[in-house]
Structure 1
Amino acid sequence: MDVRRRLRLFAVTIAVTPLVIGGCTAGQREAAKPGHKKAAAPAVTVTPADRTKDVPISAEVGAKVAHGKITAVRLTDDKGAQVPAEPREDGSSWVPTKPLQNSRTYTAEVTATGGSGRTTTQKTTFTTMAKSTKPAITTELYFTSKQTYGTALPVTVAFDPPIPKEARADVQRRLFVKTDPPQPGTWSWVADGKQVEYRAPDFWQPGTKISVRSALQGLPIGKNAIGDADHSATSKIGRQVSLDIDNATKQMSVYQDGKLLRKIPVSLGKSSTPTSSGTMVIMEKFDRTTFDTRGDPNGGYVVDVDDAQRLTWGGEFIHSAPWSEGDQGNINVSHGCTNVSADAAHWLMGVTQVGDLVTVKGTEVKLDQGNGWTAWNVSWDEFAKGSALPVPAGLKPTPSSTPHPGAVAGGSAPAPTPSASGG
């Protein structure tokens, strides 16, 4: 039985000041003084260009200005209704807060004001395309509203089929994250294009509010596909918790806000089915679930488990294993999971959150990048290399923010097919 429970990701807009879409207003003109040359009026170029047809419903209103700056933008549909939009952080365009509708006509009016107060308004009318017949790429956002997440949570979007390299920049430009207080980061693609993750250089600060928007509905992706959906969600970051699992000692150390709460004996994967070493994140939690490994190379069993917490798509969990309590702290007997006592597993469920950091060290194999939410399994520099767009200069971790046990937060399918294996 498949134990997947997908967290639905909803997209967020980038950290910008919301634009008030309203009527265009002209500033008061400055009287020309004798002997002074009259200032040039602003020149405005708006996209989509006037009378453009077959515009994707993911369209944005772009504007370039000479001799001034944009002071008002108004977007309306063919019934005169105003369409809310927000500016990008760099001011290059205005993004409607919802996808446009197919086969509709829209009018954009952009007003710019020069240094002398002279204004120019440029108007453009365009028509969106009919509903596309191209196949849609399925997108999944692993971020839902009204949740409390751990400080290591990477916002993750998965794709089926994968996004080709040449299309990743266009997709990434339509993925927005806003944090309060501000804590900028970047997106990074897993090599196969099935998953992209967002994080800041440092862990999220406890109490941070995060809003996400995956605005991909109707977006042309490559030559032969479009995005399937537009999702939005807002949640917050809770307390800082991290788990350090050491194969040498067969112990798990549980930290909260940098302080050791408890040490727990563990039994990890035996030599034929070793546990992965690496830096992971708790992905989902189950009070009770079923591991069905029939069909797996080293599986063939079905077992019900209590208090299970997923760490990888491949089926590695922390879970209650009363059958191995005599081995915990002494010898590895599992099929790759981290076995703990029933009492410890129940206690952990009350302490941890989805998004908490889990570090495993000293086992026979290393964690594969992309097998779970692996944004913290590489250095910041390596993570940033995975961005399809330029990463802002100066975006670096603080010296004390390197992930380590007990660190206080400072700051196959759409994803690899989640396996039900465990044990």
Structure 2
Amino acid sequence: MNLRRGVGLLAAVVVMVPTGCTAQRKAADRAEARDQAVAVTVTPADKTRDVPISAEVGTSVQHGRITSVKLTDDKGGQVAGAPREDGSSWVPSKPLQNGRTYTAEVTATGAKGRTATRATTFTTAKKSDKQAITSVLYFAGNQTYGTAMPVTVAFEPAIPKEARAAVQRRLFVKTDPPQPGTWSWLEDGTQVYYRAPDFWRPGTKISVRSALEGLPIGKEYVGDSDRSSTSKIGRQVNLKIDNATKQMSVYQDGKLTRKIPVSLGKPSTPSSSGKMVIMEKHQQTTFDTRGEPDGGYVVDVEDAQRYTWGGEFIHAAPWSEGDQGYTNVSHGCANVSSAAADWLMGVTQVGDLIEVEGTEVPLRPGNGWTAWNVSWDEFAKGSALPVPAGLKPSPTPTTPHPGAVAGGSPEPAPSGSGG
């Protein structure tokens, strides 16, 4: 019996000793980590030449965090900028200048307040003689947009697949309050859209920067410009057009406020079915379809609101008021009465959602701002960069959030037919 008790006591001692050693080792490891020197890496590497004017100051650190980045030019002027959210680099607020030398000083702070500073000096390239890709940012500043307004950038020529990630990294969107989203490319590379999983919340301020000037795009091209704008989202308005009933339902703040008889595209020129967005508003415009299939007419129209690049508008059509609500006679547009068109102009804004259902043809991707014509999962697949896993739509379907009455107008869109 005494022997067994002795063996048991010994076993207990043997079990306890490693536990104590482990605790001591962990404490020692923590102390060692606190004493490790802060290590900072900066790019571009020192004395690098021919750096694009779209360059960012790359920063990485071990055993600490970046606490300061200072970039100065060769005349001593300090360059403004801010870090990326992931801390991978520091982004100048404007493009750098061609053929200039810059010095970046990056400071990191570790445990016990220890700091380390690394400096790098680099020279930017002379102005490129490569062809610039023309980009258009369809998000003007100081406007009030509808809750379905996607941030849209268009390109000519199209961006090749292998260059899209680099371009996307230079497209910045900030929302206040935060409502994160992602970019998604059309398959042909002519447009890229940004939206959140759900419609924008009312009162959201959206700041956009398309920072593409001087960016190498593939082997043959560079980006053309650096544009920034800030606008807001107001109350909700969305329109639903049912081809079966030939009626447009107008919703404000989620409530049905009015039904309007419509005449859509006749069988030879059918309207598109899908989820579209109001892109332009015109008190008066001219449809000139000479030279187009099934066209050949010139007509002045009033109170016109574009929602496809192909030339589909909601507009006043006094000549078809007898058909509205009964028969489709248009060249693809949504014809409404003059009184209804005038009323709609005071209610809608650029960025409002238009849903058309029951026509002969589906909406073609890219025929307008078609970011909402796919599910969130499908939209996210179009990103050239990884999409954060936490970005998910609301568990239940949501209606567009409130938008504003006053409409903003993006940059001029290509002309197109209507009817």
RMSD: 1.5
Distance in 1 (CA, whole Å) between partners of 2:334 and 2:164 is: 36
Please, which of 362, 366, 371 is the counterpart of residue 362 of structure 2? Answer: 366
Match for residue 229 of structure 1? 225
Match for residue 27 of structure 1? none
Match for residue 152 of structure 1? 148
Q: CA deviation at 1:301?
A: 0.3
Match for residue 344 of structure 1? 340
Contact 1:268/1:274 (<8 A) preserved: yes
Match for residue 8 of structure 2? none
The secondary structure found in structure 2 opposite 1:171 is helix
Q: CA deviation at 1:118?
A: 1.3
Please, which of 182, 207, 212 is the counterpart of residue 211 of structure 1? Answer: 207
Distance in 2 (CA, whole Å) between partners of 1:207 and 1:68 is: 38
Structure 2 residue 405 is matched with structure 1 residue 409? no
Q: CA deviation at 1:113?
A: 1.0
Distance in 2 (CA, whole Å) between partners of 1:249 and 1:308 is: 22
Match for residue 260 of structure 1? 256
Match for residue 329 of structure 1? 325
Q: How many residues align?
A: 381
Match for residue 121 of structure 2? 125
The secondary structure found in structure 2 opposite 1:126 is strand
Which has a greater percent of helix? 2
Contact 1:401/1:410 (<8 A) preserved: no
Structure 2 residue 159 is matched with structure 1 residue 163? yes
Distance in 1 (CA, whole Å) between partners of 2:225 and 2:130 is: 14
Distance in 1 (CA, whole Å) between partners of 2:266 and 2:377 is: 34
Please, which of 38, 42, 45 is the counterpart of residue 38 of structure 2? Answer: 42
Match for residue 273 of structure 1? 269
Distance in 1 (CA, whole Å) between partners of 2:402 and 2:139 is: 21
The secondary structure found in structure 1 opposite 2:230 is strand
The secondary structure found in structure 1 opposite 2:166 is helix
The secondary structure found in structure 1 opposite 2:326 is coil
Distance in 1 (CA, whole Å) between partners of 2:60 and 2:273 is: 50
Contact 1:203/1:401 (<8 A) preserved: no
Please, which of 253, 260, 278 is the counterpart of residue 282 of structure 1? Answer: 278
Q: CA deviation at 1:122?
A: 0.3
Percent identity reads 77
Contact 2:234/2:402 (<8 A) preserved: no
What stretches of structure 1 of length at least 5 have no aligned partner? 1-35
| One-letter code aligned to 1:409 | H
Distance in 1 (CA, whole Å) between partners of 2:326 and 2:397 is: 33
Scaled by the length of structure 2, the TM-score of the pair is: 0.89
Distance in 2 (CA, whole Å) between partners of 1:146 and 1:410 is: 18
Scaled by the length of structure 1, the TM-score of the pair is: 0.88
Distance in 1 (CA, whole Å) between partners of 2:278 and 2:204 is: 19
Contact 1:244/1:253 (<8 A) preserved: yes
What stretches of structure 2 of length at least 5 have no aligned partner? 1-30, 404-410
Structure 2 residue 54 is matched with structure 1 residue 58? yes
Q: What is the correspondence of 1:80-119 to structure 2 with a 5 Å cutoff? A: 80-119=76-115
Structure 1 stretch displaced more, 67-76 or 304-313: 67-76
Match for residue 241 of structure 1? 237
Q: CA deviation at 1:401?
A: 3.7
Superposed CA deviations along residues 149-171 of structure 1, whole A, max 9, x for unmatched, are 00000000000000000000000
Going from structure 1 to structure 2, the CA distance change for 1:408 and 1:103 (only over 3 Å counts) comes to closer
Please, which of 202, 206, 215 is the counterpart of residue 198 of structure 2? Answer: 202
Distance in 2 (CA, whole Å) between partners of 1:64 and 1:359 is: 47
Superposed CA deviations along residues 149-200 of structure 1, whole A, max 9, x for unmatched, are 0000000000000000000000000000000000000000011100000000
Q: CA deviation at 1:420?
A: 2.2
Distance in 2 (CA, whole Å) between partners of 1:52 and 1:419 is: 46
Distance in 2 (CA, whole Å) between partners of 1:250 and 1:158 is: 33
Structure 2 residue 387 is matched with structure 1 residue 391? yes
Q: CA deviation at 1:408?
A: 4.2
Q: CA deviation at 1:419?
A: 4.5
Distance in 2 (CA, whole Å) between partners of 1:146 and 1:394 is: 31
Distance in 1 (CA, whole Å) between partners of 2:402 and 2:45 is: 45
Contact 1:264/1:344 (<8 A) preserved: yes
Please, which of 164, 169, 172 is the counterpart of residue 173 of structure 1? Answer: 169
Q: CA deviation at 1:400?
A: 3.0
Superposed CA deviations along residues 272-292 of structure 1, whole A, max 9, x for unmatched, are 000000000000000000000
Superposed CA deviations along residues 253-286 of structure 1, whole A, max 9, x for unmatched, are 0000110110000000000000000000000000
| One-letter code aligned to 1:101 | Q
Contact 2:147/2:400 (<8 A) preserved: no
Distance in 1 (CA, whole Å) between partners of 2:302 and 2:238 is: 21
Superposed CA deviations along residues 198-236 of structure 1, whole A, max 9, x for unmatched, are 000000001110000000000000011000000000000
Distance in 1 (CA, whole Å) between partners of 2:273 and 2:371 is: 14
Structure 2 residue 179 is matched with structure 1 residue 183? yes
Contact 1:151/1:239 (<8 A) preserved: yes
Q: CA deviation at 1:295?
A: 1.0
The secondary structure found in structure 2 opposite 1:345 is helix
Contact 1:267/1:324 (<8 A) preserved: yes
Contact 1:154/1:355 (<8 A) preserved: yes
Contact 2:252/2:402 (<8 A) preserved: no
Match for residue 24 of structure 1? none
Q: CA deviation at 1:410?
A: 8.3
Distance in 2 (CA, whole Å) between partners of 1:297 and 1:129 is: 48
Question: Which of structures 1 and 2 has the larger relative contact order (alpha carbons within 8 angstroms, sep 6+)?
Answer: 1
| One-letter code aligned to 1:269 | G
